[in-house]
Structure 1
Amino acid sequence: MLSYRGHRNVEGLSVPWRFSHTQTYDPETDPTGLISFGLAENRPMRAEIAKYINEKVYTEQGHYFSTPYTEIRPNNPTQVTFTQDSISYRSSAPTAARLPAAAATHLNNILSPDIPIQPEHIVVADSATSLGNMLGYNLAERGEGILVNRPVYGRFELDYGVEAGVEMVYADTATEEAFSPTSVDKYEQALEAARGRGMQIRAVLLVNPHNPVGRCYPVETLKAIARFCQKHSLHLISDEVYASCVFETDDPDAVPFTSILSLHLVGVIDPNLVHVLYGFSKDFASGGLHLGFLVTQNKQLRQACQAILRLHGASQAAVTIGTAILEDRAFVSSFTAKSRKCLASAYRLTTSTLNEQGINYIKGGNAGFFVYIDLSPYLPFKEGLSPREREFVLAQKLVDAGVFLHPGEEHSKDVGWFRLVFSQEEDILKEGFRRLLGALKSSA
């Protein structure tokens, strides 16, 4: 009844622990509900975005979303009207041009590109996830590969694989090594091994700032990887969805964020091979808004994406809201500052708790929503279980205690490492730690 592709995707639904549990905890209505340390969402900042949309985006009659038909819109050029055009199949030309222009201004501000981003360099879609799928589809054939180091965000296997059929090929870098120019040696080894088994590699995928380690790539490492891509005629995809989620820490050695686009790459790599992904899900705590951007100078690639965009286009409602947000530079600045302050506070609470409890984690983080922690001392030993199955047993014990961490999600070479997402309200973070530590102590 189904195609081979359909059958494979259905089988993927039954892979153990492949999908995250949903947070159900609420201190008032569901105090025994599950707390998720697995979903990379900036929960404390969602209220800020919802409040902004309610106050700044208006109905066609000139009224607030939040209190329709009662408050009349003041004369404010930063406010955007939600019109019939916002729910049409296609926006009129003036409306359609506003979001790419606003996105270009925003990205020029936060990425500091060596060559300024123009609106025509941007493809707007319904998410960075969809754009990853589109890149896989347009840059590689089914069964070909994209090279990535590990540990790394585990869902790339789905983003690039479910529809496009492209495989993630892992360079076995140690965590520290992944941020060093010497990591190129491991990329070379992985590339040659793939070719030896008849697989073509079409691109290298970077996550910068990194997920799950929470660090940024040094300039020299970025240049070394770019040279590697040029040497082998590989595309370089830089996923920069956490670009503004960089915060202050007490670590003087923490590396600041550098976009691949900010480097002077003349003589290093053909600019037509360099592509950046960005979206609203992380920097604006708005995963459900579904807005993503691909930035590339490669005109042919942009055309290929446009050819399949009807399957991945952003809704005009999301375009209207996204335009309102990005055109309000004062709001973007204040929102980003508050987000960074919240993340820094949550990071300090998380790392101080881990330090007090003697739980090992990767140091030097200053970006994203997570720390990468080593729970290998707490893995239960049971005869006949594989290392990954031992992770599953621990993960189930944590769920039974009311807290979720995703086992095996980040494809570490070493067993027992988990990504812990700390971007929660402080009281929820503390309650989650209480549950987590209680479960770990009972495992010791």
Structure 2
Amino acid sequence: MALSLRAEKLAAPGPNFLLTEVLPNLYDGAANPGGWVNLGVAENSLMHEALLAHLHAHLRVPGAALTYGDGCKRLRRAAARFLTRQLRPVTPVEAAHVLVSNGCTPAIENLAWAVANPGDGILIGRPYYGAFPADVSRRTGVDLIPLSFGARDPMGLEAVDEHEAAILAAKQRGQRIAALILAHPHNPLGRCYPRAVLVAYMRLCQRHQVHLICDEIYALSVFESRVDAAADAAAQPVPFESVLAIDPAGIVDPALVHVLWGMSKDFGANGLRLGFTVSQHSAAMRAALQGVFEFTWTSSLSDLVAAAILEDDAWVEAYIRENQRRLAEHHAKVVAWAREHAVEHAPGANAGFFVWVNLGAVYRRHHPDEEVADIDAVVMASLLEHRIFLADGVRFGAEQPGWFRIIFTLEAAYLEMGLQRIVAAIKGTSLQLPYETNGVKE
């Protein structure tokens, strides 16, 4: 039977195909020693025990949790109060400002659908979170346009100029630019945008009547960087400040500003599948998104779990502090490893779960006589041979080849094993991995 044209485009294995092999076959020292070490998926397991303890102690499931629910009334109130406390917005977030979806992936897609027509463009700077292209474009027909910055700081004022040049170029060719997306804190660079740069983007959006979509899913996963003190001054760590905390008066029509946040990163709860879209000043946007809410409906059980977490102020404050302490500790481990093995890494990081590293350059250094046409493919092949999974810069829009993202929010011994496997992969040495698992050749 023939598929639709759009379905045929997706029928071939895509970049997520490998995950279907990796995630069901993860390393376990006792049960699956030949499994994959996964340092590629942005999950934070550092605080799972604390979160589970809270859930077990406080979760009571009423019969209503087995129904369609009440439109997330309790959760929206809890989220509005929580985000007001944590993001310190100029205007307090109200429950009516918050739309709930089953993750931030559909939230991004819904915003793209709401602000842009098929063929319109949305701008994104490189490197970018690898799922943005699919989130924005796969089902909407919207064109996600990546911007290159060369030697310029992708999080500096010159990057704002590149965005304006792209808007003007699009007008010249007859394409409407509907929005631009900022990942703030940035994924994969692990940095926060300076206030002056955020203001410059807001002014840019006002000049050209372009929506600003600010993805703040790592807003509370910030930490005091213990490294890079001698790094380039242009890449020094910048404290996080939500775009909602900047008074828009005289800068931008606040109806153009929309913020995303979710439970998956700051609370290490990817499996809850909960995302929040905050659009404080656009009733039309909220009405449009509410009109398609049934396509991204959340589980009543997830709503209940999240509300119980967000309403517990004292526990949340302690949780955030301890999570940030552990993030700093594990980030320092990976940077120390990178320095020990002379692996170039992006400096100035103080947020997120990742370190952005240039493994291609290290591979070439260890294989000076090897002719390599596609360093990304060669390094990835070696990583996979050593049963270590990382996200590669090709999918993340890296401007230079050889860059990969290492996730550090994992138990220390597991992380150390992953780093050892990376070294073996780039050096081309064997770890004598056990590929016999339960009698089956993997």
Q: How does the TM-score come out when normalised to structure 2? A: 0.89
Change (3 A) 1:318 1:434: same
Change (3 A) 1:176 1:352: farther
Query: Are 1:113 and 1:262, in contact at CA under 8 Å, matched by a contact in 2?
Result: yes
1:254 paired to 2:254: no
Q: Which stretch shows the higher mean deviation, 268-277 or 171-180?
A: 171-180
Secondary structure of the structure 2 residue equivalent to 1:238: strand
Query: Are 2:359 and 2:379, in contact at CA under 8 Å, matched by a contact in 1?
Result: no
Tell me the amino acid that sits aligned with residue 266 of structure 1.
A
Query: Are 2:214 and 2:258, in contact at CA under 8 Å, matched by a contact in 1?
Result: yes
Change (3 A) 1:197 1:156: same
- Structure 2 unaligned regions, length at least 5: 230-235, 430-442
Tell me the amino acid that sits aligned with residue 394 of structure 1.
V
Query: Are 1:171 and 1:189, in contact at CA under 8 Å, matched by a contact in 2?
Result: no
Q: Distance in 1 between matches of 2:151 and 2:305?
A: 38
1:113 paired to 2:97: no
- 2:200 maps to 224
The one of 416, 420, 436 equivalent to 1:434 is: 420
Secondary structure of the structure 2 residue equivalent to 1:44: coil
1:298 paired to 2:282: yes
Secondary structure of the structure 2 residue equivalent to 1:294: strand
Tell me the amino acid that sits aligned with residue 380 of structure 2.
A
Secondary structure of the structure 2 residue equivalent to 1:242: coil
Matches within 5 A, 1:22-33: 22=23, 24-33=26-35
Change (3 A) 1:15 1:143: farther
Secondary structure of the structure 2 residue equivalent to 1:368: coil
- 2:407 maps to 421
Change (3 A) 1:394 1:16: farther
Secondary structure of the structure 1 residue equivalent to 2:48: helix
Secondary structure of the structure 2 residue equivalent to 1:399: helix
- 1:127 maps to 103
The one of 41, 63, 83 equivalent to 1:84 is: 63
Query: Are 1:202 and 1:234, in contact at CA under 8 Å, matched by a contact in 2?
Result: yes
Q: CA deviation at 1:176?
A: 5.5
The one of 252, 257, 267 equivalent to 1:284 is: 267
State the Cα deviation string for residues 311-355 of structure 1 (Å, max 9, x = none): 101111111111101111122112111211111111010000101
Q: Distance in 2 between matches of 1:127 and 1:327?
A: 20
Q: CA deviation at 1:166?
A: 1.8
Q: Distance in 1 between matches of 2:215 and 2:18?
A: 21
Q: Distance in 2 between matches of 1:430 and 1:376?
A: 20
Change (3 A) 1:317 1:16: closer
Q: CA deviation at 1:18?
A: 7.5
- 2:291 maps to 307
Q: Distance in 2 between matches of 1:319 and 1:277?
A: 17
Secondary structure of the structure 2 residue equivalent to 1:301: helix
Q: Which stretch shows the higher mean deviation, 354-363 or 48-57?
A: 48-57
Query: Are 2:36 and 2:389, in contact at CA under 8 Å, matched by a contact in 1?
Result: yes
Q: Distance in 2 between matches of 1:17 and 1:355?
A: 32
Secondary structure of the structure 1 residue equivalent to 2:345: coil
Q: CA deviation at 1:38?
A: 0.8
The one of 245, 259, 266 equivalent to 2:249 is: 266
State the Cα deviation string for residues 11-56 of structure 1 (Å, max 9, x = none): 4x34597857426011222223111111000022223222222221
1:327 paired to 2:329: no
Q: CA deviation at 1:163?
A: 1.7
Q: How many residues align?
A: 413
- 2:433 maps to none
Secondary structure of the structure 1 residue equivalent to 2:179: strand
Matches within 5 A, 1:359-438: 359-377=343-361, 378=363, 387=374, 390-407=375-392, 408-438=394-424
- 1:180 maps to 156
Q: How does the TM-score come out when normalised to structure 1? A: 0.88
Q: Distance in 1 between matches of 2:321 and 2:34?
A: 33
- 1:348 maps to 332
The one of 179, 182, 185 equivalent to 1:203 is: 179
- 1:53 maps to 55
State the Cα deviation string for residues 276-333 of structure 1 (Å, max 9, x = none): 0000010011111011100012110111000000010111111111110111112211
- 1:148 maps to 124
- 1:215 maps to 191
Q: Distance in 1 between matches of 2:131 and 2:415?
A: 24
Secondary structure of the structure 2 residue equivalent to 1:236: strand
Secondary structure of the structure 1 residue equivalent to 2:260: strand
Q: Distance in 1 between matches of 2:250 and 2:5?
A: 44
Tell me the amino acid that sits aligned with residue 286 of structure 2.
R
Tell me the amino acid that sits aligned with residue 309 of structure 2.
I
Q: CA deviation at 1:197?
A: 3.9
Q: Which stretch shows the higher mean deviation, 140-149 or 47-56?
A: 47-56
Cα RMSD after superposing both structures: 2.0
Tell me the amino acid that sits aligned with residue 412 of structure 2.
E
Q: CA deviation at 1:191?
A: 2.2
State the Cα deviation string for residues 34-93 of structure 1 (Å, max 9, x = none): 1111100002222322222222102xxxxxxxxxxxxxxxxxxxxxxx1111111232x8
Query: Are 1:124 and 1:314, in contact at CA under 8 Å, matched by a contact in 2?
Result: yes
Quick one: percent identity of the two aligned structures?
34
- 1:64 maps to none
1:97 paired to 2:73: yes
Q: Which stretch shows the higher mean deviation, 402-411 or 255-264?
A: 402-411
- 1:234 maps to 210
Q: CA deviation at 1:143?
A: 2.3
Tell me the amino acid that sits aligned with residue 244 of structure 2.
L
Q: CA deviation at 1:406?
A: 2.0
Q: Distance in 1 between matches of 2:29 and 2:109?
A: 38
Q: Distance in 2 between matches of 1:17 and 1:89?
A: 32
Tell me the amino acid that sits aligned with residue 86 of structure 1.
A
Tell me the amino acid that sits aligned with residue 10 of structure 1.
A
Secondary structure of the structure 1 residue equivalent to 2:406: strand
- Structure 1 unaligned regions, length at least 5: 59-81
Change (3 A) 1:127 1:17: closer
- 1:68 maps to none
Secondary structure of the structure 1 residue equivalent to 2:170: helix
